Structure 1
Amino acid sequence: MRFALLVVAVSGLVGGLVFQYALDDPLLATASYVVAAVPVLAALVWEIVTSLVAGDVGLDVVAALSMTAALVFGEYTAAAIVALMYTGGQYLESYADGRASREMTALLARVPKTVMRQQGDGLVETPIDAVQPGDHLLIRAGDVVPVDGQVSGTAVLDESSLTGESVPVRHADGASAMSGSVNVGDAFVLVASKAAADSTYAGIVRLVKAAQASKAPMARMADRYAMAFLAVTLAITGAAWALTGDPIRAVAVLVVATPCPLILAVPVALSAGLSRAAGSGVLIKGGKVLERMAGLRTVVMDKTGTLTHGEARLTGITTTGGMDGARILQLAASLEQASTHPIAARICKAAMADGLALESPRNVVETAGEGLTGMVGGHEVVVGQPAFVGARAAGTPPQDGVAVAVDGRIVGAMQLQDALRDDVQGLLGTFRRAGISRIVVATGDKRAVAEQLTRGLPVDAVHAEMTPEEKSELVASESRLAPTMMIGDGVNDAPALAIADVGVAMGVRGAAATAETADAVLLVDRISALGNALRASQRARAIAFQSVALGVGLSVAGMIAAAFGYLTPVQGAVFQEVIDVAAILNALRALRSPKPAGASLGRAEPLVQ
């Protein structure tokens, strides 16, 4: 619709100029100018009426008054020029928002549509909505758990998107399993305890929808000045007409007063800011979000997948039997090659990263979720949970970590932890320099883990072992005190992202629900990009305000000149175009925002020497 009106305005104005100056046909010229202005005016009046019904008053009223007055008093060229200025501004504003926003339709991508239900002696593929408490469901490797229930047998589940715990959790027979977690072990049977609509993941989705509905859209920046600017315009217009008795002077004042610097320069500056942020790897969903981001004072950050990489990594090896760490890792990784468990894959990856040669294991026996035994290079090796290894080898098993025994004796343990991102420290420093006064970490992980990970970071508070509801309450509480940004990646973060003034999703590794809910999405695996995006948003907003001040200041000067008869309506329209160009050129400076130096990403040292 906006593009069609822009085409009408351009065609009418160009046609009118051709008829008037090239063909010397004033009648057709007038008709062409009217064709350019009337449809735009009609659409504008409808938009104003709709806004008034909703309780909003915008600067569009000034544009409508100027076009109406120009048509009534026969200043058709000026009316067509105002129509072009207005439609151009409207189209540019919609383009700026549309360019940086996308439909995130993957909110329910994790939700399975069907499930394999035991029926008699076989399995039947059943719609998830038909599952009832007590049903026995087969959860295959890689499946998302569709409903809450109890495990029959053993299960290894990745619950990181629900709880923030990065290490897959082993569930024994009879243990509770949450919907939304992923089976990363062997297939198991789940006894449903709730219907799909009453389960954990469905509850999180409902929280997201409720939070999205509770956040009202932000008004355009230009409309904040509507009443004051409208009052000044009407005062000068009325004074010019009353003191001179010349309605054309009043028309000239209204034409000059058309708020195109606000309608045009603001979206240009914001669009430039969106482009700068996108160049840094952050997709911001529209100019309204960018405005809110520029005014942030508090940041709440998830831990797993946000401050950290979101996957457990080998962080150290303790030795207890005289064998050095490198040899322990080599033997353990050689055996773990026979396992499909995610922890096994990470141990093998760490060994290969340190240049260790892995041997082929033989006679491997794996106990699902507990550990492995086998032969490596003539040695009997046992790797797994401390209790599993302690039952098969002499020595005191470690308190935690992955225990390793060789030839019947416990020789050490490997510690795995979700490592802090290399660029976190730099990002938090950028936040502080950009005016962020409060930084909070909120995680579903254990308090000891969260406090150890954040030790030495410039954060003001750490909240651990939080449910999605508690995260949402925390963000809501912070938002009441100051404009707040929430950064997260898991499904459990989605409700909090929706409640925050600005929600940022880790789009590279995050869950679909977070990207759908968030106001901005990090498209690269460098969290430092958020600092660049924050700087770009602040610079864009500052330049937008400068453009507003420049445009309004020149418009007021032009109105005074028109009131004294120094500008005709057409001259006023041309003067207004000059103001537009000046304001837009100033707004385009946002594209030249200096790119901060990125954080140095040093090479990781080997875990064992």
Structure 2
Amino acid sequence: MNSSRLRRALGLLRADREVLLFIAATAMLLVGAAFALARDEELAAGPWIAATALGLAYSTVTIAVALRHHRPSVDVIAWLALVGALLVREPLAGAIIAIMLFTGGLLEARASARAKRELGALAARAPRIARREDHDGVHEIPVTEVGVGDRLLVGAGEIVPVDGRLLESASFDESALSGEPMPVERPAGDDVRSGVVNAARPVRMVATETADRSAYAGVVRLVEQAQASTAPFVRLADRFALAFVPLTLAVSGLAWVLSGDPVRAVAVLVVATPCPLLLAAPIAIMSGLSRASRYGVIIKGGAALEQLAAGRVLLFDKTGTLTRGRPSISEIITADDTDADELLRLSASLDQTSAHVLAAAIVTAARDRGLTLSSASGAEEQPGYGLRGTVDRHVVRLGKAAWILEGPPPAWVRRARRRAALDGSLTVFAAVDGRPAGVLLLTDPLRADAPRMMRALRNAGITRTVLVTGDRADIAASVGRIVGTDAVYADRDPAEKLAIVQEEQATAPTIMVGDGINDAPALAAAGVGVALAARGATASAEAADVVLTSDRVDGLADAILIAHRSRRIARRAAGTGMALSAAAMALAAVGLLTPTLGAILQEGIDVAAIAMALTVLLPGRTHTVVLSEADLAAARRLYEQHTALGPLIEQVRAVADDLSGSRPDLERLRELLDRLELDLLPHERAEEEQLLPIIARALGGPDPTGAFSRTHAEIEHQVRRLRRGFDDIGEEPEPDELTDLRAGLYGLYAIMRLHNAQEEENAFSLL
């Protein structure tokens, strides 16, 4: 039996033990009550004494465990109350106290088991079999035998066995990893994670990871680690034991001395049993862990949840945290007589055969533009250089500049290199039939939801945000300005990141967010380390206290809100219960409560405190915005159009660049204006009519769509202005006419870029 199974078995045994003890004590109480109703006090005392003795044995064991761990425990009060009940011949009070103890143990075990069950359900459904497709057909193989580059077939309703890239569009149920209840549409070329369920027709994919390195295997390991690393919850009552136990003994002793009646002392001990602290706080905390798991957040224990609630300074890594962590095409620069879409189509057709991360970005870009890809033949990797193959009878090469270019670089190459240097872009050069044809520029784009997430985190109680990255200072500063961080530290290695975390930790409780191996030391040093494990488990996830299993960083804001609410309710439930217990202690001290009545009253106080603690499971304030199915469908349709129009924005700048030459291509400008009027403006009007009401309903507040309406109007105004300027020029335009047109195009480009960024942040990120 492996360690995870052994832990689960021990957990079941503990839960069963609590149930048996509770049933036994309750049965003894009822048997004694039956004898008491028959007016046989002597027979009634027997079962009640037995129940009291059982509780005494149980509390003795819990105190011994606390002593072994050098931890004070308020269970000593319950132990003294049980002993006192026997000495003053109040066996009914002792039986009620015993049931009280067993009820607490049972509820605590059940709350812990529920949280572990919801997390462990992920591990129970791990894929075991994959269907590999080759020239002999489709064969079932153990998932452990899947290799990178294998073509797999995933049937309808089946679990995706390993991480991969789709060869055709599909719909997936991703609720097991992300908590998202609605099926998610994934286009061909998109990445898909293991553990999600194919919600539509059979789909083909290419494996990009082996089973042990895939996302779902990482989640399973994280669940096992969370269960193994979560120490038994140190009950809130134990933190007050050093003060509370002497206080209770003093009040009890004083009542005895002043009245000369030991029964009063026992009554004080009975009502002083701090069950609201023993039960309410752990139940609230464990309920918070359970609720966080529904949002795709694994919190490794109650201590981590409390530290998450206490966090005030938030430190971020950049790559994969504030940015998407995977490249996408930002621009295509081609030789003078090469069409950008055709170059992308040929490149993506060849890259379909590759599992390289840049290949996935190129294929996805072609699919987004609606390009029809062809099959590639003779594809072969040239280690250290790139990929070569034949597509539609054209020999295509993709890779480094040294493999593509010969001789002095032409102007388009110099322009591409200059832009790549300014934007920090990667470059993939392409040649067709032995001739350099263009270069694809790829960047790691900012997460659309990152600025909204930062605002949500501030609303959740974060007072300072810090960006810590190993990237260049200019790129880091740009990202920091866009998302709104308070400080930026760039060009930092893991040791320097660790030092920054320790420096911030000295001033306020910290939360560190990262997803790479180089983040692991900083995550371990922070008050709370938060890792993104959506693309598999890494050293960062192993070192973290909190793990986000979905690829949405704004889940952290929800987790912090849940942590705040859980801690607040835990304190409120415990404080209210203890205040009522203190009042009962006063009544018992002056002789107004007997031990039996005190035990019954204390049981009622316990029930009230536990009921308050369980309110954590009720829906509370979160950052997540829920759209109706109709709004979701409309927003997704507009987002598809929004994505498809992305290349048109880059075409605006490309046409503006061409107008600077001595022989401007006016026909290209005419075609651009036609596309802007026929494609872009109808889309902007559709957004005005359909998307803005969705945003208003989702976000609420005063005029959340005013800025969008203003930029829609400005875009249409600029397009109309460009059309008038173009219609007014002759066949031989004057230099100042070209200058005005070029300035108008650059202005339109800037407005469209800003507008698209705003829409992706405040509208489409809601998807």
TM-score tier by shorter-chain length is: 0.7 to 0.9
Corresponding residue for 1:228? 243
Ranked by relative contact order (alpha carbons within 8 Å, sequence separation 6 or more), the top structure is 1
Q: 1:459 is paired with a residue of what secondary structure?
A: coil
Q: Call closer, same or farther: CA 1:322–1:438 in 2, change over 3 Å.
A: farther
In the other structure, the counterpart of 2:750 is none
Partner of 2:263: 248
Whole-Å Cα distance in 2 between the matches of residues 440 and 351 of structure 1? 36
Matching of residue 530 in structure 1 with residue 545 in structure 2: no
Deviation, 1:420, is 2.5
Q: List per-residue Cα deviations over 1:329-355 (Å, max 9, x = no partner).
A: 223223434545332232122101210
Measure, in 2, the Cα distance between the counterparts of 1:363 and 1:93: 63
Residue type at the aligned position of 1:420 = L
Percent identity over the alignment is 42
2:24 aligned residue: 11
1:440 positional shift:
2.3
Seen in structure 2, the aligned counterparts of structure 1 residues 98 and 291 have a Cα distance that, compared at 3 Å, is farther
Offset from partner CA, 1:275-317 (integer Å, 9 cap, x none): 3212222122222222121111122223333323332222222
1:266 and 1:548 map into 2 onto residues whose CA distance is 6
More strand, by proportion? 1
Query: Separation in 2 of the partners of 1:40 and 1:243?
Result: 30
Moved more, 45-54 or 32-41: 45-54
Q: CA deviation at 1:240?
A: 1.4
What is the CA–CA distance in structure 2 between the aligned matches of 1:493 and 1:373, rounded to whole Å?
36
Aligned to 1:31: 46
Tell me, in whole angstroms, the C-alpha distance in 2 between the residues paired with 1:268 and 1:216.
15
Alignment correspondent of 2:718: none
Deviation at 1:489, TM superposition (A): 2.5
The residue number in structure 2 matching 1:156 is none
Following superposition, the deviation at residue 377 of structure 1 comes to: 4.9
Tell me, in whole angstroms, the C-alpha distance in 2 between the residues paired with 1:98 and 1:292. 22
Question: What CA distance in whole angstroms lies between the structure 2 residues aligned with 1:593 and 1:360?
Answer: 50
List runs of 5+ in structure 1 lacking aligned partners. Answer: 107-139, 143-182, 186-208
Q: Which residue of 2 aligns with 1:84?
A: 99
Alignment of 1:605 with 2:631, yes or no, is: no
What is the aligned counterpart of 1:45 among 60, 63, 72? 60
Equivalent position amino acid for 1:85 in 2? M
Letter in structure 2 aligned against 1:96 = A
C-alpha separation between the residues in 2 aligned to 1:519 and 1:95? Answer: 23
Query: Please, which moves more after superposition, 587-596 or 357-366?
Result: 357-366
1:540 corresponds, among 566, 571, 589, to 566
* CA displacement at 1:561 relative to structure 2: 0.9
Quick check: 2:31–2:47 contact (8 Å CA) kept in 1? no
Deviation at 1:103, TM superposition (A): 8.6
Shift of residue 88, structure 1, vs aligned partner: 2.1
Assess if the C-alpha contact under 8 Å between 1:291 and 1:537 holds in 2: yes
Distance 1:407 1:287, change over 3 A: same
More divergent stretch after superposition (329-338 vs 287-296): 329-338
Corresponding residue for residue 301 of structure 2: 286
Structure 2: distance between partners of 1:216 and 1:588: 22
Cα distance change of structure 1 residues 69 and 347 upon mapping to structure 2, 3 Å threshold: same
Q: Is the 8 A contact 1:251 1:569 kept in 2?
A: yes
State the secondary structure of the residue aligned to 2:513: strand
Check the 8 A contact 2:451/2:482 in 1, yes or no.
no
| Equivalent of residue 419 in structure 1, options 434, 440, 445 | 445
- Rate the CA distance shift 1:298–1:94 in 2: closer, same or farther, 3 A: farther
Q: Residue 56 of structure 1 is aligned with which of 61, 67, 71?
A: 71
Instruction: Name 2:514's counterpart in structure 1.
Output: 488
Asked whether the 8 Å contact 2:312–2:461 carries over to 1, the reply is yes
What are the within-5 Å matches in structure 2 for residues 102-251 of structure 1?
A: 219-251=234-266
1:306 corresponds to which of 306, 311, 321: 321
- Scaled by the length of structure 1, the TM-score of the pair is 0.75
Name the stretch that deviates more: 589-598 or 526-535: 589-598
Q: Give the structure-2-normalised TM-score.
A: 0.60
Cross-structure match for 2:747: none
* Cα distance, 1:516 vs structure 2: 3.5
Change (3 A) 1:104 1:9: closer
Query: 2:568 and 2:442 mapped to 1: Cα distance?
Result: 45
More moved, 403-412 vs 87-96: 403-412
Cross-structure match for 1:509: 535
Residues 339-379 of structure 1: CA distance to partner in whole angstroms, max 9, x if unpaired? 45332232122101210123445676652231345555566
SS at match of 2:326: strand
Equivalent AA in structure 1 for residue 429 of structure 2: A
Distance 2:231 2:610 in 1: 29
* Distance in 1 between residues matched to 2:231 and 2:312, nearest whole Å: 20
Which stretch has the larger CA shift, 556-565 or 368-377? 368-377
Counterpart pick for 2:402 among 369, 384, 387: 387
Contact 2:528 2:546 in 1 (8 A): yes
Q: Aligned partners of 1:358 and 1:447: how far apart in 2?
A: 39
* 1:332-411 correspondence to structure 2 within 5 Å: 332-361=347-376, 366-373=381-388, 376-377=391-392, 381-391=396-406, 395-396=410-411, 397=413, 398-399=416-417, 400=420, 401-406=427-432, 410-411=436-437
Structure 2: unaligned runs, 5 residues or longer: 1-13, 124-146, 150-206, 210-224, 421-426, 628-634, 649-767
Match of 1:179 in 2: none
The equivalent position to 1:576 in structure 2, one of 596, 599, 602, is 602
Q: Name whichever structure is richer in helix by fraction.
A: 2
Contact 1:490 1:511 in 2 (8 A): no
**Aligned residue number for residue 257 of structure 1:** 272
Counterpart for residue 127 of structure 2: none
Describe the shift of the 1:34–1:309 C-alpha distance in structure 2 as closer, same or farther (beyond 3 A). farther
Deviations 1:135-188 (A, max 9, x none): xxxxx978xxxxxxxxxxxxxxxxxxxxxxxxxxxxxxxxxxxxxxxx989xxx
Please state how far the C-alpha of 1:455 moved relative to its aligned partner. Answer: 3.6
Alpha-carbon separation, structure 2, partners of 1:4 and 1:373: 66
Distance 1:605 1:455, change over 3 A: farther
- Distance of aligned partners of 1:551 and 1:454 in 2 relative to their CA distance in 1, 3 Å threshold: same
Distance 2:600 2:384 in 1: 76
Mapping of 1:416-565 within 5 angstroms? Answer: 416-565=442-591
Q: Per-residue displacement from partner, 1:9-57 (whole Å, max 9, x unpaired)? A: 4423432332343455544433322332324323423433453465432
Q: Which amino acid aligns with 2:31?
A: V
Tell me how far apart the structure 1 counterparts of residues 86 and 435 of structure 2 sit (CA, whole Å): 97
Q: How far off its partner does 1:62 sit?
A: 1.7
SS of residue in 2 equivalent to 1:280: coil
Shift of 1:456: 0.8
Name the CA distance, whole Å, in 2 between partners of 1:249 and 1:26. 22
Match in the other structure for 2:175: none
Question: Quick one: which of 275, 279, 283 aligns to 1:268?
Answer: 283
Give the Cα separation in 1 of the matches to 2:208 and 2:613.
51
| Alignment partners' CA distance in 2, 1:338 and 1:20 | 78
Secondary structure at the residue paired with 2:443? Answer: strand
What is the rounded CA distance, in whole Å, between the counterparts of 1:65 and 1:3 in structure 2? 27
Name the aligned partner's letter for residue 521 of structure 1.
V
Q: Secondary structure at the match of 1:229?
A: helix
Alpha-carbon distance, 1:264 to partner: 1.4
RMSD: 3.5
Q: 2 CA distance for matches of 1:328 and 1:537?
A: 51
User: What letter corresponds to residue 46 of structure 2 in structure 1?
Assistant: A
Q: Which amino acid aligns with 1:577?
A: E
Q: Specify the alignment match of 1:116 in structure 2.
A: none
Per the alignment, residue 152 of structure 2 pairs with none
Q: Name the SS of the counterpart of 2:597 in structure 1.
A: helix
Q: Secondary structure at the match of 1:414?
A: strand
Structure 1 residue 528, shift from structure 2 partner? 1.5
- Equivalent residue pairs, number: 511
Aligned-pair distance for 1:387? Answer: 2.3
Question: For residues 50 and 85 of structure 2, what CA distance do their matches in structure 1 show?
Answer: 14
Contact 2:74–2:237 (CA under 8 A) maintained in structure 1: yes
Summarize deviations over 1:369-402 as a string: whole Å, max 9, x none: 3134555556664432122222389625342511
